[in-house]
Structure 1
Amino acid sequence: MNCHGHEKRASGPRSRPALALSVLVAALLSLIPWSGTAVAHGSVVDPASRNYGCWLRWGSDFQNPEMARLDPMCWQAWQDNPNAMWNWNGLYRNGSGGNFPAAVPNGQLCSGGRTEGGRYNSLDAVGPWKTTDITGTFTVKLHDQASHGADYFLVYVTRQGFDPTTQPLTWNDLQLVKRTGRYAPSQNYEIPVSTSGLSGRHVVYTVWQASHMDQTYFLCSDVNFR
């Protein structure tokens, strides 16, 4: 994204529309998490977490009204709080102490318990989120821009019969399919997962316990088991 707000003019003051556009672009740039500021953290990029997927599909076209028809769950998320997508890598809570059900109530799992002042609340919305096709053996890929490392990852998958298009996600709906050991600080992690007996639409729920402090990421990825 380029901003030409400092371009010299031959004469006359800047027009109001041009000034308004310049302010808007500057505001958007200030929200982008990869701009070298301290807000860079991470998220699951494959299968894409809900807000990362929305940013990936619509970040360059987020005001397109066609999103409401083509991708309604992302549309409601953009309308609720665009910062949930611009800051796709900031969905975490500090100080959970490993007691995740206490920190993240049922129905609020995808927003990390309405963390960050409710920025990510739209990710708890029940409905037909876009899915990634996977098989029973798949790999969770996580991008860690800040190289926090991990004490461990927990990967859950919803039980067979749970319908995320009509039911809010609860801890009782999840089956733990992978617990890892430590990961040294890096920018990319891969977590191999094996399941059996799953088909159709599910949610993969990844809990990332970062190593640099008691900081935990709670990440929903919508999938379709083929």
Structure 2
Amino acid sequence: MHSHPHARARRWAVRATALLTAMMAFVVTWAGAASAHGSLVDPASRHYGCWARWGSDFQNPAMAQQDPMCWQAWQTDTNAMWNWNGLYRMNLGGNFQAGVPNGQLCSGGHAESGRYNAMDVPGAWKATTVRNTFTVKLWDQANHGADYLLVYVTRPGFDPTRQALTWSDLQLLTKTGKYAPAPYYSVNLSTSGRTGRAVVYMIWQASHMDQTFFMCSDVTFTT
């Protein structure tokens, strides 16, 4: 026996409402997860900088000439920039060199199934001008806190426009102590006699669980 058209319409309406509710729940859950972490914002990490400069205009073809490394990153995976606060790895137990191979430091060892791989590509990334004494600022959106921050700078002679980053390219500037949960953490740093291009590399060991964030920020040292 065939059902009445009005009954079928009501059933379809109920199904459509259930589907819409499920989709909205997914979007809310995704948005909550996406806003739950953070990144180095000054000097801007590669993924945060691309979002900050182009998030409202990411389809503009002028980016290809004005900011070519961000252009290749947006073309590779737009989600890397929308999720600029999610470049992390879980449960590394502090053994970062084992979990993040050479050449993959800026993507956190191909974190999130390779979402951030474009960050590893050498090239003319936009660089922040800093002096030999400078401050870095981390934005912790979810107030995770930090067990510690490790901040490195590339050795003199390293050319980020031509070389993918390896562990042997890094010099440790500081390992901080613990940070209580807060929106921002700042670290004062000092180098000596540096000029030209370099990469500042930060590892943020969050306090709420064994969750580790990896960030490459391009800088140009000036006297």
* Common fold by TM > 0.5: yes
Q: Any idea what SS the aligned residue of 1:169 has?
A: coil
Identify which of 189, 193, 201 aligns with 1:205: 201
1:197 Cα deviation from its structure 2 partner: 2.1
Match of 1:194? Answer: 190
Q: Any idea what SS the aligned residue of 2:53 has?
A: helix
Please say if 1:183 is aligned against 2:141: no
Please say if 1:74 is aligned against 2:79: no
Higher helix share: 2
Please say if 1:108 is aligned against 2:104: yes
Match of 2:79? Answer: 83
Q: Distance in 1 between matches of 2:143 and 2:192?
A: 32
Please say if 1:38 is aligned against 2:39: no
Q: Distance in 1 between matches of 2:83 and 2:106?
A: 15
Match of 1:124? Answer: 120
Match of 1:165? Answer: 161
Q: Any idea what SS the aligned residue of 2:151 has?
A: strand
Q: Distance in 2 between matches of 1:170 and 1:38?
A: 30
The one-letter amino acid paired with 2:33 is: A
Percent identity of paired positions between Structure 1 and Structure 2? 68
Structure label with greater radius of gyration: 2
Give structure 2 stretches of 5+ with no counterpart: 1-22
Alignment RMSD (CA, Å): 1.7
Q: Distance in 1 between matches of 2:79 and 2:33?
A: 16
How many residues are paired up? 197
Q: Could you list the per-position Cα deviations for residues 165-211 of structure 1 after superposition, in whole angstroms to 9, with x for gaps in the alignment?
A: 01110000000001100000111111111111211000000000000
Moved over 3 A (4+): none
Q: Any idea what SS the aligned residue of 1:38 has?
A: helix
Q: Could you list the per-position Cα deviations for residues 114-137 of structure 1 after superposition, in whole angstroms to 9, with x for gaps in the alignment?
A: 010110000001111000000011
Q: Any idea what SS the aligned residue of 2:64 has?
A: helix
Match of 1:134? Answer: 130
Q: Could you list the per-position Cα deviations for residues 122-169 of structure 1 after superposition, in whole angstroms to 9, with x for gaps in the alignment?
A: 000111100000001111100001100000000000000000101110
Q: Distance in 2 between matches of 1:139 and 1:132?
A: 12
Please say if 1:99 is aligned against 2:95: yes
Q: Any idea what SS the aligned residue of 2:33 has?
A: coil
Give structure 1 stretches of 5+ with no counterpart: 1-25
